[in-house]
Amino acid sequence: MKVRSLTMRHYRNYTDQTVVFDEGVNIFSGENAQGKTNLIEALFFLSRGYSHRAVRKQEIITFDESDMYVSAEVTRGDVRHNIRYKTDQSGKELTLDQKKAKHSQVSRTFPVILFEPDDLHIIKAGPERRRRFIDEELSEAIPAYRKVLKQYRRALKQRNALLKAIRQDATLTVMLDGWDEQLVALGSKLISYRLAYLKRLNTAAKKIHRILSGEREELSLMYQNNVIDRPAYQRDIEKAFAEKIAESRETDLEKGTSVTGPHLDDIVVMIGGREARRFGSQGQQRTAAIALKLSQIDIYEALTGELPIVLLDDILSELDESRQRNILKLIDRNQSVITCTNADFMRRHHPEGIAVFTVHNGVISQGGKGDQTEELPSGTEDEKEDSQDIN
Ligand SMILES: Nc1ncnc2c1ncn2[C@@H]1O[C@H](COP(=O)(O)OP(=O)(O)OP(=O)(O)O)[C@@H](O)[C@H]1O
Ligand SMILES: [Mg+2]
């Protein structure tokens, strides 16, 4: 699918702006604080229904304005769709082809994958950040996952509240069994999804990492989970979970929180057999982060059959030229929207020609197509299935 155009009215620092995109690479260049991230945010927001940086939805409305809308024309094959989100006195409304819609429907019609500088810290960050990475992408690609995740979080909250309440009133302990069952049933489903996802992620990230590191280093991922330590059938996961949760009941009551379950999962990223988070250099951690992030594009396509639009917000300037080139090569089948403060590099190196726009103080104007110069080096085609590290 492709996005043909985007219109923003009273969106952040855009008063009334329409952008018509190229089907391939779209570069938005501009100085700081001109509206590049706001444009990326508008595309992300329209697709996902939340902003990757605003805490409250109100923040995206231009200061001192009360009404706003953002809309996009997208095409899937020969079919055109219109997506529109507006907020005014009568409230908020999202429509897909003029009919009220849910965001889950919209993100299927208009899938995006965002890559921003903060993603480069995914290896260094705490486990919560890596869980968010898995949850966001799995929720986008598999609607059932989103549902189970929500139910699991609700059950976990209830169980934790009950654990605390039992300290005051021991007779409430009888209620714990029911919540244990819920947690086990829902949590086992989550673990099952994550196991399958991590297997794909391991294969995809390994392949991309080889390209990025010039074959010098080997990346592998391990799913770290305190219920089961190897791939298993759903019923075996449930059995193991039920045992573990029974074993940890005393600790849970003592701590007033649940210490067993996928809410504590992590992905351990290894480079050359050593944990990247602890032993990797900054460059190695960044390369591993890029490999994880770019894997999402292939995995999304494998799971849904759709090529998502790739949004790169100011990511290239953070990287050296060979990494920049490799990234562009890896996303060359996708439509992309790329922001930067200087488009010269793209003009020099992109083979297919690119659409260049300038962003200045909330106004976007079209530059020209880039020169067609140098060919990019092609990546390795090593397709070797290599997922035994997931265990
Ligand atoms: N609700 C809003 N209404 C009006 N302007 C806003 C609103 N929210 C943010 N802005 C302004 O939009 C401007 C552009 O922000 P944006 O983050 O898009 O810049 P940028 O081009 O990505 O800059 P950088 O290169 O520094 O990342 C900022 O000056 C900011 O103050
Ligand atoms: Mg920005």
Task: Tell me the pLDDT tens digit for each residue of 319-348.
Answer: 888 888 889 889 999 999 999 998 877 777
> By alpha-carbon position, which residue is closest to atom 3 of ligand 1?
62
Look at residue 121 and tell me if it is in a domain.
Answer: no
Q: How far apart are CA 316 and CA 256, in angstroms?
A: 45
Measured in Å, residue 359 CA sits from the centre of ligand 2 at: 11
Site to probe by mutation for ligand 1, drawn from 13, 16, 27, 358 as the one with most ligand atoms within 8 Å of Cβ, is 13
> By alpha-carbon position, which residue is closest to atom 29 of ligand 1?
33
Q: Is 65 exposed, middle or buried (0-12, 13-18, 19+ CB in 10 A)?
A: exposed
Q: Could you tell me if 142 and 203 lie in one domain?
A: yes
Name every residue whose Cβ is closer than 8 Å to that of residue 363 and which is 6 or more positions away in sequence.
17
Q: Could you tell me if 83 and 227 lie in one domain?
A: no
Considering every ligand atom shown, identify the ligand nearest to the alpha carbon of residue 340 and give its number.
1
Look at residue 388 and tell me if it is in a domain.
Answer: no
Are 291 and 208 within 8 A, CB to CB?
yes
Return phi, psi of residue 367, to 5°.
-85, -150
CATH of the domain at 23: 3.40.50.300
End position of a domain, from candidates 279, 297, 328: 279
Measured in Å, residue 82 CA sits from the centre of ligand 1 at: 26
Considering every ligand atom shown, identify the ligand nearest to the alpha carbon of residue 66 and give its number.
1
> By alpha-carbon position, which residue is closest to atom 30 of ligand 1?
33
Q: Could you tell me if 97 and 132 lie in one domain?
A: no
Look at residue 158 and tell me if it is in a domain.
Answer: yes
DSSP state of 121: G
CATH of the domain at 224: 1.20.1050.90
Give me the residue label for tokens 């994958």. Answer: 113
Q: Could you tell me if 29 and 132 lie in one domain?
A: no
pTM score of the predicted model: 0.89
> What is the predicted pLDDT for the residue at 243?
97
Cα 317 to the center of its chain, rounded Å: 20
| pLDDT bracket for residue 384 (50, 70, 90) | very low
Look at residue 387 and tell me if it is in a domain.
Answer: no
Measured in Å, residue 32 CA sits from the centre of ligand 2 at: 7
Considering every ligand atom shown, identify the ligand nearest to the alpha carbon of residue 341 and give its number.
1
CA dihedral 186, 190, 196, 200 (to 10 degrees): 160
Look at residue 258 and tell me if it is in a domain.
Answer: yes
Q: How far apart are CA 115 and CA 99, in angstroms?
A: 30
Report, in this order, helix, strand and coil percent for the chain, each rounded to 5.
45, 25, 30
- 297-300: long-range contacts, CB 8 A cutoff, minimum separation 24: 297/113, 297/330, 297/331, 297/334, 298/204, 299/137, 299/141, 299/197, 299/200, 299/201, 299/204, 300/111, 300/113, 300/137, 300/140, 300/141
Q: Could you tell me if 195 and 332 lie in one domain?
A: no
Look at residue 172 and tell me if it is in a domain.
Answer: yes
Look at residue 101 and tell me if it is in a domain.
Answer: yes
Q: Could you tell me if 148 and 255 lie in one domain?
A: yes
Domain enclosing residue 46, as ranges: 2-111+308-369
Q: Could you tell me if 174 and 74 lie in one domain?
A: no
> What is the predicted pLDDT for the residue at 250?
96
The string over 318-339, giving b where at least 16 C-beta atoms fall within 10 Å of a residue's C-beta and e elsewhere, is ebeeebbbbbbbbbeebbbbbb
Are 337 and 26 within 8 A, CB to CB?
yes
| 32-36, 127-131, 322-326: segment of lowest average pLDDT | 322-326
| pLDDT bracket for residue 260 (50, 70, 90) | very high
Higher per-residue pLDDT: 242 or 323: 242
| pLDDT bracket for residue 290 (50, 70, 90) | very high
Q: Could you tell me if 55 and 168 lie in one domain?
A: no
> By alpha-carbon position, which residue is closest to atom 26 of ligand 1?
32
Measured in Å, residue 37 CA sits from the centre of ligand 2 at: 4
With a Cβ cut-off of 6 Å, ligand 1 is lined by 12-13, 30, 32-38, 59, 61-63, 314, 341
Q: Could you tell me if 43 and 138 lie in one domain?
A: no
Q: Could you tell me if 132 and 269 lie in one domain?
A: yes
**Region 226-248 average pLDDT:** 93
| Structural domain total, the chain | 2
Give me the residue label for tokens 């439509």. Answer: 335
Q: Could you tell me if 139 and 93 lie in one domain?
A: no
Measured in Å, residue 317 CA sits from the centre of ligand 2 at: 12
> What is the predicted pLDDT for the residue at 318?
81
> By alpha-carbon position, which residue is closest to atom 11 of ligand 1?
13
Residue 182: CB atoms within 10 A of its CB come to: 17
> What is the predicted pLDDT for the residue at 352?
62
Q: Could you tell me if 134 and 269 lie in one domain?
A: yes
Measured in Å, residue 362 CA sits from the centre of ligand 2 at: 12
Cα distance between the two ends of the chain: 35
Are 362 and 34 within 8 A, CB to CB?
yes
Angle value at C-alpha 277, between 271 and 280, nearest 5 degrees: 50
Would you list the DSSP string of 123-190? TTS-HHHHHHHHHHHHHHH-HHHHHHHHHHHHHHHHHHHHHHHHHH-GGGGGGHHHHHHHHHHHHHHH
